[in-house]
Amino acid sequence: MELKERFLKYVSYDTQSSEESATFPSTEKQKVLLGVLRDEMEALGMTEVTMDRYGYVMGTIPATPGCGNAPVIGFIAHVDTSPDMSGKDVRPRVIEEYDGGDIVLNGQLTMRVAEFPELAFFKGHTLIHTDGTTLLGADDKAGVAEIMSAAEYLMTHPEVEHGKIRIGFTPDEEVGRGVDHFDVAAFGADFAYTVDGGMEGELEYENFNAASARIDIQGRNVHPGYAKGKMINALDVACELQTLLPAEQRPQYTEGYEGFYHCVGVNGTVERAAVSYIVRDHDADRFEQKKVFLWSCVDLLKKKYGDGVLTLTLKDQYFNMRKMVEPHPQVIEKALEAMKQAGVKPLVRPIRGGTDGARLSFMGLPCPNLFTGGMNFHGKFEYCSLDTMRKARQVILNLAQLWAR
C-alpha cells in the first residue's frame, strides 16, 4: 500500500482519546484502528502478532539469515488523537506541489505563512492538510503509516539485511496513559524509537518533566444583593489563582528549555469551580520548584478564604528521558547516521512535550523520538508533508540495517 494511501486510510478512523474517562483505553473506538493494524500485520506475514485486552498491538519482522544475533530494535507509535479537537469525519486535502503561499482551509479560515513561518520549508512538497473543521491526525498516524510502510517494505524485500524488529502501537498517549499497561518484557526490544516527532530531521532524547494539577474550589453562593462579607465566588478565586502564577511562564511566552504553567481548563459557577493546569520543565530542580510554588499559591488563597475552599491534586506524569538514554550513545549515533544516509539534516533538540518513549525509557527501554513530518498538532491547522513522511520511512529502514551491522 502506498504511503499516502495508508495515511489517508488511518486518519479516516476517529481515535480521539478522553481525559475524562476512567477506562483503558479511554475510548473503545481506538481499538477499531488497532484491530485494523493487527490484521494488516498478519496479512504482511509478520510473526508474534498480538493485540491484548488493553489494545496494545505488537508484531515481529523476523531477522534475515545471519542477523539473528543483532540487537532487537523496536519502532512505536500511538493511534489516538488529541482530546483538544475532534478527529471525527476528517476530510484531508492534498496539495500536490505546494507553492509556498497561504493555504485556504475553507471559506472562513486560512493558514497564513506569516503566522506559520515553517510552511516556507515545505515549498515544493506534497502537503496534506485539514479542511479547517477537525484536526488531521498526523499526530501520530503519520508515524503509524511510516512504520507500517517500512514494515511492508522489509517483509517484501528479504534481501535487505536486518535483525529482529518489533513493532508496537499504543492507545491513550495524548492523555498521558499510553504505556500504563505496556509490557516491556513481552515487547522484547533492546532499544526502540518512537516515531512521533514533527519537523523534518527532529531527533529528541530530552523532554519535559511533567505534572498535572487540578484545583477544586468550593465557593459560597449568596444572593448578590446581600452578598457583602458573605459570598465567596469560586470563579473569582480561580481567576485570582491564575494571576498569582508568573505570566511570563505561560506557554505562549516560552521556548527551548523554558518551562511553563499552562491553564488547560476552567469550569464552574459561583458555588463550585475547578481549574486544571499542566506544569512543565526540562530541569528537574526547576520542575520541583514550580510544583512547590503552585502549592504556595494555593496555600496563600486558603489563608485568605479558609481551608475548605481550595483543594489541590497534583500528580507527576512523566520525567525527562535524557538520563536514561545518554548511557546508550549508540541509540543516538545510529539515528544520526540513518538521517545522514536519508539526506536529512538532523535537528537535535528537546521535546517541548512528551512521548510514550519518555516513560518507556524509565521502564528500561531506551527510546528516543524521531520526526514524522507532521506539523501544528492538535488543531485545525495541522498538516504534514508526504515528502518528509517518505524520508521518515527511509530513516526507519536505514536504522533497521544499521543495527544489524
What is the residue-wise DSSP string for 193-237?
Answer: EEE---STTEEE--B-EEEEEEEEEE-B---GGG-TTT-B-HHHH
20 has pLDDT over 80: yes
Instruction: List the catalytic residue out of 80, 200, 206, 356.
Output: 80
45 has pLDDT over 90: yes
71 has pLDDT over 90: yes
Between strands 272-281 and 209-218, the pairing is antiparallel
pLDDT band at residue 176 under the 50/70/90 scheme: confident
CATH 3.40.630.10 in the chain, residue ranges: 3-206+320-402
pLDDT band at residue 246 under the 50/70/90 scheme: very high
Per-residue pLDDT, 184: 98
394 has pLDDT over 90: yes
* Measured CA distances, 124 to 85, 95, 104, 108, 114 (Å): 29, 10, 17, 25, 18
- Tell me the average pLDDT across 146-158: 98
DSSP, collapsed to helix, strand or coil, labels residue 28 as coil
- Specify the CATH superfamily of domain 3-206+320-402: Zn peptidases (3.40.630.10)
- Tell me the average pLDDT across 271-294: 97
Per-residue pLDDT, 231: 96
C-alpha grid cell, residue 167: 513493532
- Tell me the average pLDDT across 293-313: 97
146 part of the active site: no
Per-residue pLDDT, 352: 86
- Tell me the average pLDDT across 289-294: 98
Mean pLDDT of the chain: 96
Residues β-bridged to residue 313: 214
Instruction: List the catalytic residue out of 40, 140, 146, 173.
Output: 173
- Residue ranges of the binding site for Zn(2+): 78, 139, 174, 196, 378
173 part of the active site: yes
* Measured CA distances, 211 to 162, 168, 259 (Å): 39, 26, 12
Q: State percent of the chain over pLDDT 90.
A: 95
DSSP, collapsed to helix, strand or coil, labels residue 118 as helix
Chain position carrying cell 528479504: 158
Contact present, 214 and 311 (Cβ < 8 Å): no
- Residue ranges of the binding site: 78, 139, 174, 196, 378
Instruction: Give me the CATH topology for the region 209-318.
Output: Alpha-Beta Plaits (3.30.70)
Rounded to whole angstroms, how far apart are CA atoms 105 and 346? 30
Chain position carrying cell 485570582: 240
CATH 3.30.70.360 in the chain, residue ranges: 209-318
* Measured CA distances, 270 to 181, 232, 233, 301 (Å): 40, 7, 5, 16
Between strands 165-170 and 73-78, the pairing is parallel
pTM: 0.88
Q: State percent of the chain over pLDDT 70.
A: 100
> For 191, what's the count of Cα atoms within 13 Å in the CB-facing half-sphere?
22
pLDDT band at residue 242 under the 50/70/90 scheme: very high
Residues β-bridged to residue 207: 351
